[in-house]
Structure 1
Amino acid sequence: MLLAAAVCPHPPLLVPQLTGASVQQPSNGPAAAVAALRETALAAVRDLLAVGDEAGTDLDVVVVGTGPTPGSAAPDAVGSLAGYGADVTVALTRGEPGTAAPSLPLSVTVGVWLLREAGYPGPVRARVVTEHATPAECADLGARIAAFPTPTVLLVMGDGSASRDEKAPGALDPRAVPFDTAVADALAAVDTAALGALDPALARELLAAGRAPWQILAGAVEADGRPWKGELRSTDAPYGVGYLVASWSPV
């Protein structure tokens, strides 16, 4: 049974070791926005985990994100941010990461990092989809997650468009802000139909990695059948990339 869901972005800069956190930073600007985004994302994850505490039961914690190879990650899989310049390794299993070669994509790696930073020590399940997953495939996966018999919370990892200004990774695209605004409105209103209708081709052109995970979330809530409420917690776009944080829960 699906208890709650949180939506978070997955820029590696959420991890302090990659931000020069020991260096004096200005009180405004992109670096400060990233620090605020980190705290907002961690607050959303803490609230997600608190649902299990309130329910008084063990949780099935599931992270979904995009990556090159679709499927369920191995229970002992690990992820690393070494390729981004940080000696940070996380594992899906309890305790310290083992010696397995890193295999988790960035989206899931950052998701697990958020869970560990939020104080969750238990096992995590990870489901990876590619950016080419169709809306129907995403909805089907979401429905299967909603059908898990154990109490489940869902951490949905995905960035918005990366084309918000001239310095963004995808350069400036006038379609980026309307795309992110539509997603933000859908997350705030728990508009599963709007999320399900997002165009995969447009999302790829805008480098919006969150499209498929958001559609998995939409499919899960539609399959759940209960009314849900949403809280949009952040819509910041430092460095020209749209980063959305939201919390969903049954009414």
Structure 2
Amino acid sequence: MIIGAAVCPHPPVLLRELAGQHDTAAPLRRACTSALTALLKLRPEVIVVVGGAATSGVHHGGRIPVREFGGAQPDRLGEPALPLSLGVGRRLLDETGAAPAVELIAVEWEAASAQIERLAQQLAARPERIGLLVMGDGSARRGSRAPGYVDERAIELDKRIGAALATGDAAFLSRVEPHLATELLVAGRAAFAVLGSAVTASGASVHAETHYADDPLGVMYFVVVWVCAFS
């Protein structure tokens, strides 16, 4: 049973080792901590972290990917790095504290609807009290400083995604078009779709609260909490 979800972005600067002397990510990190605290108050038995990656799969361990983004980190005997989305999610949980059991699931960036639906159905059918930590960025094409420079379509798509997250519109999140999301560098498309499809499959109604919505450096970041209720 999915009892709620926290949506957080996964820029590398959320890892403190990469934030620099002037931690410009501090407000965003505080918003993520606030959202996770709200999720943990729902008393989930397990937190399932879902994030986009190059390939889909379940991760049973792995180091936080600090070295891959220029930070210093011990090798830890060659332990492979988690995908960035899962690594940031794991770190946020560690810093928030008091998390129950944690599972890490990567979903291919351009995963087809059938794959997303299978995962969503599996999550919705589980008997435990599940809290989802959904790791995903909006478009990275929102300005001249953005990694993907500028695409005017990005503003409208992010507006619609933000509205869906803010109102608990699970159906919209499950049908964002993968090709458009790829063109607009929406790194959260697959993870958002899993959230939307899983909550729809569960039959829950949603109370949503937005903790953060802004686009520093031309990338849109959302921090949102969903609380699920069943009639």
Query: TM-score, with normalisation over the residues of structure 1?
Result: 0.85
Q: Alpha-carbon deviations, 1:75-125, whole Å to 9, x = none? A: 233332111123468xxxxxxx96461231000000000000101355421
CA distance in 2, matches of 1:12, 1:244: 15
The separation in 2 between residues aligned to 1:100 and 1:148, in whole angstroms, is: 34
Q: Percent identity among equivalent residues?
A: 39
Please say if 1:226 is aligned against 2:204.
yes
Alignment of 1:185-200 (within 5 A): 185-200=163-178
Alignment partner of 1:124: what SS?
Answer: strand
The verdict on how the C-alpha distance between 1:142 and 1:181 changes in structure 2, with shifts beyond 3 A counting, is same
- Residue aligned with 2:31, SS: helix
- Distance in 2, matches of 1:99 and 1:137, equals 34
- Unmatched 5+ residue regions in structure 2? none
Matches within 5 A, 1:31-46: 31=24, 34-46=25-37
Q: Is residue 2:10 matched to residue 1:6?
A: no
Does the aligned pair in 1 maintain the 2:64–2:91 contact within 8 Å? no
**Contact conserved, 1:226 with 1:250, CA < 8 A, in 2?**
yes
Q: Does residue 151 of the first structure (1) align with residue 143 of the second (2)?
A: no
Q: Write the distance in 2 (CA, Å) between the matches of 1:76 and 1:9.
A: 20
Q: Secondary structure at the match of 1:37?
A: helix
Q: What whole-Å deviation, never above 9, does each CA across 1:10-63 have from its counterpart, x for those lacking one?
A: 001112221223x4x7xxxxx3xx3211110111011111211xxxxx621110
Residue equivalent to 1:86: 71
| Structure 1 stretch displaced more, 136-145 or 7-16 | 136-145
CA apart distance, 1:220: 1.0
Give, as a single letter, the amino acid of the residue that structure 1 aligns with 2:213: T
Which range moved further: 98-107 or 153-162? 98-107
User: What is the Cα deviation at residue 165 of structure 1?
Assistant: 0.2
Contact 1:163 1:176 (C-alpha < 8 Å) held by counterparts: yes
Residue in structure 2 matched with residue 93 of structure 1 by the alignment: none
Cα distance in 2 between the residues matched to 1:88 and 1:189? 40
Output the amino acid matched with 1:43. Answer: S
Cα distance in structure 2, aligned partners of 1:161 and 1:84: 20
Deviation at 1:218, TM superposition (A): 0.6
Q: Kindly report the root-mean-square deviation, in angstroms, between the aligned alpha carbons of the 2 structures.
A: 1.9
The one-letter code sitting in structure 2 at the alignment partner of 1:224 is S
Partner residue of 2:61 out of 70, 73, 76: 76
**1:67 aligned to 34, 53, 69, which one?**
53
User: Which of the residues 192, 208, 214 maps onto 1:214?
Assistant: 192
From 165, 173, 188, the equivalent of 2:151 is 173
Look up the equivalent residue of 2:8 and give its one-letter code.
C
Within 5 Å, which residues of 2 pair with 1:49-64?
49-52=40-43, 59-64=45-50
Q: What one-letter code is carried by the residue in structure 2 that aligns with 1:77?
A: G
Q: What secondary structure, in the 3-state scheme, does the structure 2 residue paired with 1:247 have?
A: strand
**Number of matched residues?**
229
- Per the alignment, residue 204 of structure 1 pairs with 182
CA deviations over 1:214-243 (Å, ceiling 9, x no partner): 000011111111211111221110000000
Q: 1:106 aligns with which of 59, 84, 101?
A: 84
